[in-house]
Amino acid sequence: MSTNPTIWATALLTLAVYTFLIKDNRIFRLVEKLFVGIGAGYYAAMGVRTIIQVGLTPLSKGNLVPLLPLLLGLAVYARYVKPIAWLAKIPVALIVAIGAALTLRGTVQAQFIDQIVGTLVPWNSIDNLIIVLGTASTVVYFYFKARQPGPFDTALAWSGKFARLVMMVAFGIGYTGVLGANIPRTIGQLQLIFGKWIHLIPGF
Amino acid sequence: MHRLFSWSRPVIYLFVTVVMLIPLIKPLGLPVPVGKDARKYFDAIEAVKPGDIVWMDSHISLSAAVECYPQMIATAVHAYRRGGKIVLLAMSPDGQPFAERMMNEVLAQGAKYGEDIIYLGFVPGGEPGLAALLSDVHKAVPNDYKGTPLASLPLGARIRSGKDVAVAVPVTSDASAPDYWTRQVKPYPNIALLMASQASLWPKIQPYTATGQIKAALNGSRGAAEYELLINRKGQATASMDATSVAYLAFIFLILIGNLAFYTRPKTGSGKEGSK
């Protein structure tokens, strides 16, 4: 058995979470609240540290540049004082404007043009054919689904069936990704409990 | 028949736990074939020339650390071995302890702080923060994590903007990272963008690797294990590969059982699907 109190605490808290499998209970709820509380505290501390490092420390050394962002940050809390509540709109508007401008700058090239260029491939392999037909049929499926009956109905129906197939494969891959993310987490906890805590797994 | 295939949740957990625990206690030695994605990633770091700046972002959440940390340390060790100079930062608060741990492991390999590696600390702001860093590092982050001015460190003085970076490696569990990294790195054709992520982000990354916007990427623990084998440094990811492989087999088995339970379920009188 480990003599490290951190390992003990982590192992016992992990087991406490697993007690939920039997049924919802007080121990599980206690650990749940502990996790939320510690997480909130950690993020709050990080926020305060960042304000001190990036804002207050340079300001105390005579650098006035952080003054404007600090004032804008304070303005967010103006919403709690009714007569000056309108001040809170200024930092929010700036955040939205800067965020949108930065996103738009790269979106057209990186997420639109480059992605279309990526589908312009020679039809000389199964992979390339799937990329071209899969992309085209999926776009057609979403954009021409609600059209009026017309001469291309049969072609569109077949294209729609192929698009659904492609999407189902994509969803399957997504599900595998989620599984792939959860398995190592479980293994990590098993290594902690059976390796670092009770030394059943060799090498810990 | 239906009852035979309907397992309760605790039974499923117990089954999966036992199945994963056996290869952890007694390793099976299953082969880990190296895929082309891990090899491409390896080649990209192998192409780092002595003195090249490798920018690494520790954007790891606590829950994803078991997948992402082995990727991060393996990348850093490999880049350091190639003579790369590592500029490390954490764009999420959770990423900080892992960044510091990684830095200490690289320093233990003989790297010198300030010359071979520097750590900028937590950089807030997400996408705008990244854009600010790429346009002027010294303005965005004037000091390293200890408060030392960047300009006073040899490596810190060298890195002025994205134009000085050869390779950027966000190690991330953030689903929006592939989008905003490709957006913001686009104006810097000198940067080879790589990505290491948890497995659930893989479908999101693949459209960018197909177009070459992301040059190469590592997929979760599996990718980390393959990469560890390529750089000849067996670590945490390799150690858990047997259990991971067996767990996948167990899940395939459970999916089959679940489908059998579904198709053999008794039909309700109204013709509607039963809830159990």
In this predicted model, what pLDDT tens digit does every residue of B80-136 receive, in sequence order? 999 999 999 999 988 999 999 999 999 999 999 999 999 999 998 889 899 999 999
What mean pLDDT is predicted for residues A36-61?
89
Q: Nearest C-alpha of chain A: how many angstroms from B202?
A: 7
Does B274 have pLDDT greater than 80? no
- C-alpha of A131 from chain center: 26
pLDDT in the model for residue A105: 79
Q: How close does chain A come to B9, measured CA to CA in Å? A: 7
- Say how far apart CA B67 and CA B99 lie, in whole Å: 14
Specify the pLDDT at position B275.
45
Q: Nearest-CA residue of chain B relative to A53? A: B147
Taking the C-alpha atoms of residue B93 and residue B103, their distance in angstroms, rounded to an integer, is 16
* Separation of alpha carbons B149 and A20, rounded Å: 49
Beta bridge pairs of residue B214: none
Q: How many residues does chain A have?
A: 204
What is the distance between the alpha carbons of residues B168 and B192, in angstroms, rounded to a whole number?
Answer: 6
pLDDT of A143 reads 82
Residue B121: φ, ψ to 5°: 80, -165
- Span A171-188, pLDDT tens digits: 998 888 888 788 888 898
In 3D, which of A48, A42, A19, A47 has the Cα closest to residue A32? A19
Q: What percent of chain B has pLDDT over 70?
A: 95
Between B86 and B12, name the one with better pLDDT.
B86
Give yes or no for residue B276 having a pLDDT over 50: no
Residue B238 to residue A185: CA distance in whole angstroms = 14
Chain A residues with CB-CB distance to B251 below 8 A: 179, 183
Q: Which of A75-84, A113-122, B48-57, B173-182 has the lowest mean pLDDT?
A: A113-122
The pLDDT of residue B78 is above 50: yes
Q: Which residues of A touch B149 (CB under 8 A)?
A: none
pLDDT, mean of residues B175-183: 92
- Kindly state the DSSP code that residue B256 receives in the 8-state scheme: H
Task: Give B202's contacts in chain A (Cβ within 8 Å).
Answer: 173, 177, 180
**What are the pLDDT digits (tens) for B134-176?**
999 998 898 899 889 999 999 999 999 999 999 999 999 999 9
Task: Categorize the per-residue pLDDT at A157 as very low, low, confident or very high, splitting at 50, 70 and 90.
Answer: confident
Question: How many other C-beta atoms lie within 10 A of the C-beta of residue B20?
Answer: 22
Query: Is the separation of the CB atoms in B237 and B249 below 8 Å?
Result: no
The model's confidence at residue B2, banded by pLDDT at 50, 70 and 90, is low
Between CA B226 and CA B31 the distance in angstroms is: 11
Most confident range (mean pLDDT) of A101-105, B152-156, B240-244 is B152-156
Question: Which range, of A84-88, B28-32, B172-176, averages the lowest pLDDT?
Answer: B28-32
* Strands B53-59 and B117-122, bridge-based pairing: unpaired
Instruction: Please give the residue that has the higher pLDDT: either B235 or B42.
Output: B42
Rounded to an integer, the average pLDDT of B20-41 is 90
pLDDT at B9 over 90: no
Over residues A137-161, the mean pLDDT reads 81
Q: Per-residue pLDDT averaged across A123-131, rounded?
A: 90
Give the C-alpha separation, B74 to B185, whole Å. 23
Mean residue pLDDT across chain A: 89
A187 to B17: CB separation less than 8 angstroms, yes or no:
no
Question: Is pLDDT at B36 greater than 70 in this prediction?
Answer: yes
pLDDT surpasses 80 at A118: yes
Query: Cα(B200)–Cα(A181) distance, rounded to whole angstroms?
Result: 6
Residues in chain B closer than 8 A to A187 (CB atoms): 20, 24, 66, 240, 243-244, 247
Contact B24/A194 with Cβ under 8 angstroms?
yes
Residue B42's contacts (CB-CB under 8 Å, 6 or more residues apart) are B78, B227, B230, B231
The tokens describing A114, both together, are 């480059």
Structure tokens at A67: 């003054």
**Helix (H) or strand (E) segment spanning residue A33:** helix A26-50
Residues 26 to 55 of A: which have CB under 8 A from any B CB?
A: 42-43, 46, 49-50, 53-54
pLDDT cut 90: percent of chain B above it: 61
pTM, two decimals, is 0.85
| Inter-chain CB proximity B202 and A191 less than 8 Å | no
